Chain A
Amino acid sequence: MAEFSWEVRSPLDRALVAGPYGVRGDAGVSLTEIRNFDLVQVMARRGMAGDMAKAAKARLGVAAPDAPKAVQSSDATLIWSGPDQFFVLSRGGKHTTETLAQTFASFASLSDQSHARVLISISGAKARTMLAKLSSIDLHPDAFAIGAAAATSMDHTSVTLWRGGDKSDGQAVFNVLVFATFAVSLWHTVLDSAAEYGVAIGHSEELA
């Protein structure tokens, strides 16, 4: 049998050019693609949402979100993705489909989304102004606090949006999970929307 060597590359490998983009000067928007994460979608089987929630609490130490929220545990983020379902976002192979199956096998179906989604982290002084062009969600700090999440659409593309912890300089961080095959399209739309504010583009392996 032939030996295959698969090189894991981001769907944004070509589209993402690290550095400044758009108007010169201080960047108003910072776009960072987060690479090499583990992402598992957990979906309760019929009538077993309560058991799934208990299992999540026992395994991950925090209650699974039962409303549009993102909950932080010591080594994972649990993000609501629909009724009775959520994502487990982590890195370093701690929470993969294999390890989570031991916890959830009887109550929930698991689906590995690690290579099926692209994670874009958006921050900067003009991040909200830029996102207002793409999203109808009210991102005002009073309406969309840290830990708020939404399953919504941007530019007719389904995304999972949530607000992470603020950066050390106090700037809000908005995380967007998008299907891998739609990532380049959304990326260009985001760049077009952000260009007038000046953009700092980069990628990272650290979860925001």
Chain B
Amino acid sequence: MRITCPFCGERELSEFSYLGDAKPVRPAADAGEEAVYDYVYLRDNVAGVMAENWYHGGGCRAWLEVTRNTLTHEISAVEPAAGAGARQVAK
């Protein structure tokens, strides 16, 4: 599998590490125990297209949001994750 880093171009898998589902959002401080439990522990086991966080640690050290089909490994989009590169946040 190869990932096309928006900063570096196409690179082999070994330069990247996988964090997991990019969708969970940290709940508000007063959201309650159930919402926090869901955010910390519960994950969908997606068979199909999902958004994932990947880290290009062996390259430019940017966090990326990769849209990948877990059945075929087809990657349809790679975007800088929020905070990947100071300029991305400023937009």
Contacts and interface: CB of A to CB of B under 8 A. Distances in A.
B58 interface: yes
Interface range on chain B: under 10, 10 to 19, 20 to 34, or 35 or more?
20 to 34
A158 B15 CA distance: 9
Interface stretch (A41-49, A92-100, A176-184, A197-205): A41-49
A46 B59 CA distance: 20
A72 B59 CA distance: 22
A48 B86 CA distance: 7
Contacts, number: 60
B88 interface: yes
A83 B84 contact: yes
Interface of A: 43-49, 67-68, 81-84, 136, 150-153, 156, 158
Contacts of B60: 81-83, 151
A46 B89 contact: yes
B61 A82 contact: yes
Interface stretch (B6-14, B18-26, B33-41, B67-75): B6-14
A153 B11 CA distance: 10
Given A68-B8, A82-B60, A83-B7, A153 B89 contact: no
